[in-house]
């Protein structure tokens, strides 16, 4: 019987040892290429807590098309 280890298929940036451990602090890059981008014309919404409200306020401040219903 073989079982798959849940971390077998993760990318190097998702693994502590290759992403952080052993690197000097100046070489740690917390940003990776995103799967998508939003523009100021993309309809964006958030739901939930005060954090969601802060996201909404920030998006509107920077001119994004934040959806209010």
15-62: per-residue pLDDT in tens? 888 778 878 888 887 777 778 888 999 988 888 888 888 888 999 999
Nearest alpha-carbon partner for 33 in 18, 11, 17, 60: 11
Question: How many other C-beta atoms lie within 10 A of the C-beta of residue 19?
Answer: 17
66: DSSP letter: B
- Is the pTM value of this prediction over 0.75? no
């Amino acid at each position: 019987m073989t079982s798959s280890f849940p971390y077998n298929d993760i990318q190097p940036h998702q693994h502590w040892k290759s992403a952080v451990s052993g690197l000097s602090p100046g070489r740690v890059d917390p940003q990776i290429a995103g799967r998508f981008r939003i523009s100021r014309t993309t309809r964006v919404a958030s739901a939930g807590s005060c954090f969601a409200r802060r996201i909404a306020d920030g998006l509107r401040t920077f001119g994004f098309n934040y959806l209010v219903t």
